[in-house]
Amino acid sequence: MSPEGLVGIFSSIIEPTTGHLTRFITDFAHCSLVRSEAIRHDHLRTSIASHRLPQKHQCSLAITPLGDEYLEHLTCVVDSSPKVIGFAIDPHENLVEVPPPLRETGIRRPTRIYWHNPPDAIPHGKIQQWMVGRFNRVPAFQEVYAKGDRGPRKLDPVAGEQKQDSPVNWSARGKAFGLQNEADLVGIAKLDPNWVYFDCEPPTEPWIIVLGVGMDHSRLAQAPSSDEDTASAHEVSVQYNRGARAAAHLANWIRSQGYHSTPHAGPWAGSITATPAALACGFGELGKHGNIINRQYGSSFRLSAVVTDMPLVADDAAEFGADEFCIRCQVCINECPPSAISDNKQMVRGVEKWYVDFDKCIPYFNETHGCGICIAVCPWSRR
């Protein structure tokens, strides 16, 4: 599976019938798009630990070239009966070169790897399709997006007459409108092209208005979710819809003033990564768990945004001790089932910051409809 930077997408899965072990194998199969045999073995160990397989379930991993394919097979001994699970990998079609993010000293734009469409354009597309399909098979989840109110689907045209006001006043008026229309947090930043995914065209509009919507932490704290216990993931979905409504209504208000605007809302990632913009406009500090920590909401909130050419004034970033707190805190590390959260900052695309290992996070994330444990247990979220 060499060289480094190549990610294999599993194209077929043969699962055993043993229930608990099946969940582990499914987990392993959908996350093993990792960059080296050593990392795969490490993930195998963490997956076994996270699923708490009994000692009698002994597992081993091997990779064998098979003509033009590789056959990666996981041999599991269950009650003394070996079960071999094979994963066929096409090294020609399904290997995608992905720049390794760690230890890069130069700043570059991010790479799209998940929550993007079309799925065949991203290295994790097949795993994404698996998760979305599984998510949509749960009626409560399927309904929240299929029938949920995400605001106007079609934006109003930009008014022909451009109204005039000062950047300070436009900023105040835009924030007031956002707060009156479902947003709990509103901040403004000068749009940095490095926040735009590398294969997306940067917007011509120079400003981004970031919106935050708080979550009901009592529901979020029920993470992780399952097909039967849907409270946490359902709350996340409800708030993504609220964020989409807030962004769409703000975009329409800006258009009514004669300025261009485009809303961006989750859960799909779109062309812009909102977290650095939210950090820049004062929403908080980046936590060890890879999410923003806000003074009021902790990490229990979701983001949406509006890009615009309305003349505005940027807010300042905020520092209030959350980063220093994270250096000493171990709560999210100890509670993360796949051990994906690092205890030390890493150099990621030229910036030293807290880092969550995607290859370790994504299987449990997929299996539990978005997990959320690290946000739920964060002391800042529980205040």
Q: Domain residues for 171? A: 139-158+165-377
Pair 153, 204 in one domain: yes
Q: Give the Cα separation of 229 and 239 in Å (integer).
A: 18
DSSP string of 174-216, one letter each residue: HHHHHHHTT-SEEEEEEPPGGGB-TTSPPPS--EEEEEEEE--
Pair 335, 253 in one domain: yes
Yes or no: say if 30 and 130 are a contact pair by the CB < 8 Å rule. yes
Pair 331, 247 in one domain: yes
Pair 154, 83 in one domain: no
Pair 342, 256 in one domain: yes
DSSP string of 284-322, one letter each residue: -EE-TTSSEEBTTTBT-EEEEEEEE-S---PPPP--SSH
The answer to whether position 105 is within a domain reads no
Pair 89, 218 in one domain: no
> What local confidence, expressed as pLDDT, does residue 105 receive?
84
Res 334 pLDDT > 50: yes
Res 89 pLDDT > 50: no
**Of the ranges 34-43, 100-109, 216-225, the best mean pLDDT one:** 216-225
pTM surpassing 0.75?
Answer: yes
Q: Give the Cα separation of 125 and 130 in Å (integer).
A: 9
Which residues are 261's β-sheet partners?
A: 308
Query: pLDDT tens digit string along 176-211?
Result: 999 999 999 999 999 999 999 998 999 999 999 999
Lowest mean pLDDT among 112-126, 216-230, 311-325: 112-126
Pair 152, 85 in one domain: no
Given 46, 65, 97, which residue is the final one in a domain? 97
Pair 153, 91 in one domain: no
Res 83 pLDDT > 50: no
Query: pLDDT tens digit string along 136-181?
Result: 999 999 999 988 999 998 999 999 999 999 999 999 999 999 999 9
Res 32 pLDDT > 90: no
- Summarize the confidence of residues 236-240 as an average pLDDT: 97
> What local confidence, expressed as pLDDT, does residue 382 receive?
79
The answer to whether position 108 is within a domain reads no
CATH number for the domain spanning 86: value is: 3.30.1300
Pair 192, 86 in one domain: no
Lowest mean pLDDT among 66-70, 130-134, 203-207, 266-270: 66-70
Query: pLDDT tens digit string along 309-324?
Result: 999 999 999 999 999 9
The answer to whether position 191 is within a domain reads yes
The answer to whether position 196 is within a domain reads yes
- Higher confidence at residue 44 or residue 236? 236
Residue 383 three-state SS = coil
The answer to whether position 132 is within a domain reads no
Residue 274 DSSP label: H
The answer to whether position 114 is within a domain reads no
Q: Where are the alpha helices (DSSP H) in 36-149?
A: 37-51, 125-136, 139-146
Quote the number of domains for the chain: 2
Pair 64, 176 in one domain: no
Given 97, 114, 131, which residue is the final one in a domain? 97
Yes or no: say if 176 and 215 are a contact pair by the CB < 8 Å rule. no
The answer to whether position 214 is within a domain reads yes
Pair 234, 369 in one domain: yes
Pair 237, 149 in one domain: yes
Residue 130 three-state SS = helix
